[in-house]
Amino acid sequence: MSRASMINPTRMMRMFLLLGTVLLLCSCGSNSDLHDWVTQEKAKKGAPIPPLPVIKTFETFQYKDQDQRDPFSPSTAELQPSTSGSGPRPDQDRPKQPLEMFALDSLKMVGTVGAGAGMEVLVKDPGGVIHRVHRNEYLGQNYGRVTAISDDHIDLVELVSNGSGGWMERPASIALGDK
């Protein structure tokens, strides 16, 4: 190896020391422009702070129905012991009619035919088929029996389970044009 290609380690250290000193001296200059910028930024007015939201006051509610029946407890009709022979019961031996396979709220009354005691009602099922229904026929999934037919609605009585092994009657109706 030639002597020119070899770098003396002490000489290299001197160069780094000289370079560091020059850099240190350059950075020690005047910082007046930096101080001016900081004072200008501090002098600027900040964004306005939005006002606090108004707190709404709510009226207190005084519950006054403590002496009434609890709506989540069983009714007196449900608390009465059910005997096997008493009360309404669905006729399980009766053949099912076509409209009993649809929920009552899916049936729609679309009109009536006839007048007086022989009046029939036209009921549309969810499939779009229109059925003729007479008094004492059944429709809906809760053993709903048609009790009255008028020009603008059908009255029914449904049999629903009372939860304690018995059945109870529940009135229902379908109005003309209702879904």
Residue type, 160: V
96-107 pLDDT, tens digit per residue, is 999 989 998 999
* Higher local confidence (pLDDT), 29 or 15: 15
Taking 80 as the threshold, does the pLDDT of residue 4 lie above it? no
Taking 90 as the threshold, does the pLDDT of residue 154 lie above it? yes
**112 with 151: CB under 8 angstroms?**
yes
| Phi, psi (rounded to 5 degrees) for 118 | -90, 15
| Phi, psi (rounded to 5 degrees) for 17 | -65, -45
Domains delineated in the chain: 102-175 (2.30.30.830)
Which helix (H) or strand (E) segment holds residue 54: the answer is none
Taking 90 as the threshold, does the pLDDT of residue 158 lie above it? yes
Would you state the pLDDT for residue 9?
A: 83
Would you state the pLDDT for residue 45?
A: 84
Q: What is the CA radius of gyration of the chain?
A: 45
Would you state the pLDDT for residue 84?
A: 52
* Higher local confidence (pLDDT), 24 or 83: 24
Would you state the pLDDT for residue 29?
A: 62
Taking 60 as the threshold, does the pLDDT of residue 68 lie above it? yes
